[in-house]
Structure 1
């Protein structure tokens, strides 16, 4: 019985370590940008449209989120929650994405404020 419980826990935790991939472009499109969202950040909307599934990268799904985006200026809402502290609501980040580039969402916390910025991923 203990062995079965251990296997269930290991399987459950290993499933949580995957990166959640979100495709907001036409699946046949070859022109897209990729945004990596770090642990403890939730995605609410992309260009004013809610995502089909709640996206999280917190303690129970800590693999992060990867979003494929159409090139151009995009508006994405994020919320921080790490189990000890969370932001009050979603913050909208506007950024100009270019095709075939990879970007990373950077998060900084200071004095009960969460700041988000997007940078191009280093190669």
Structure 2
């Protein structure tokens, strides 16, 4: 074995490293145990789990508009998404136009098909502007 500074190399097994690697290799310790042995300190305890701030039952989709004309036009004309693609998602209710602002609403569902997420995208103006 060769030791130079705080590095070591075991020629017979072509292994080497620093102090933590040495303790792991020769003392059979885990990474955490090796660091505790070398520093003489225990690591901080992980923070306690915090409850989710909002209940899933509080989620409500924005009310839909009577038609999807503005959102459909935005997606097909301005964004140039094929009408067959947008039509599929409009028919399933995964995209619709909200009544208040005429935004396109994209609905995310869980494995049971229950809406759990929605993203609104404005349909007015140039979509490339920031």
State which structure, 1 or 2, has the greater radius of gyration over its C-alpha atoms.
2
Q: When you count helix as a share of all residues, which structure comes out higher?
A: 2
TM-score normalised by L of structure 2: 0.21
TM-score normalised over the length of structure 1: 0.21
Q: Pick 1 or 2: higher relative contact order, CA cutoff 8 A, min separation 6.
A: 1
